[in-house]
Structure 1
Amino acid sequence: MMQRQARHGINLHTRDLACGRGETILVRDLSLSVPPGEALLLRGANGVGKSTLLLTLAGLLRPMAGTFAFGGADPDDGPFRHYCGHKNAVRSRQSVLETLRFWVAINGSGGLTPEAALERTGLGRATGLDAGYLSAGQQRRLVLARLLVSPRAVWLLDEPSAALDADGQALLTELLAEHLDTGGLAIIATHDEITLPRSATLELGTRP
């Protein structure tokens, strides 16, 4: 699924997009294009609308004005977006392996096996541990494993590097680079430095 989507090049276009919460507009007049194989880093102070913009692009909030579209997405290919919020959404009494298998049941397979994804993200020795016993950084690695078991062309990531140590941040950068190399697209809200060869930065909360 991911390979077919990458071949016909999913891209993002917004035109005069406005989004917010309730009646409060946080992001307005946003017109941009992100081609396949590139990342857009969303930066800005807390509360300027980074998470709200991601939720809107994920289809979880309705735009308040304007439009956005993911060009090249084929409905016959099934879901093409992964949204990972700033909360890790793990069940504390479910094991690490059970958690990942649950996400596979919800999101579909087609990528690495759950066991292989946990090895790749440094959780291979924690498969039988209840997810609630993981550290914050380990829980974030479990979220990264979710991206690997159910490949999708578009990653919408809210603070993916939060709580990660240096090795975890290097892993995140490596996974993002591999995703972009396959023609994937990533929109990332972050306060941390994420260096990618094909990326642009959008500073929210500022006016031209």
Structure 2
Amino acid sequence: MHSAHEDLLAENPVIASVNDEDGLRKVLESSCRVVFLQYGSVLDLPDVVRRIKDTGRTVLVNVDLIEGFSSKDVVVRYVREKTAADGVLSSKGPLVRAAREAGLIATHRFFLIDSLSYRNLAAQVSRSKADWVEILPGCMPRVIGWVVEDIDVPLIAGGLVCDRDDVFAALKAGAAAIASSNTDVWEM
């Protein structure tokens, strides 16, 4: 039986990664229903999230990239209490675990740069209790297949997913969804 979070990815296999105001404007005109918000500051975050939520989209905030945030659990509390965000992305396991405990969609991001980072991934996911895992770069079908075999949560391929071939290769390798800032990919 699929969870609601898994169903959300199944229904929306292309996630819009929004890195600036131009991306925000474009995502609001797009058909993408799930957004990874990856810019802003503690001052404008509630307003930016509200603008996206007012269009019926699901929003996850990359707390590692918001100006004025720290690596402390209070960041998750802020997102939960002061914004309408649905979830959090972070490369920091304790923040992912705090998001899950706060009832937010918790996405653990991993930058797979070598075999050591790959070998440590499954244990870190187990500790963080993530709902979703995002690996970067997402244009590595062979590695996507390995990771899917090692974890029990949906995998999102992000970073350097640039065109239709990358999207289909990632999905064929077992990714539940892809995340891209490329607006052409959003409309696939």
The normalised TM-score by structure 1 is 0.36
- Bigger fraction of residues in strand: 1
Structure with the largest fraction of helix = 2
- State the structure with more CA Rg: 1
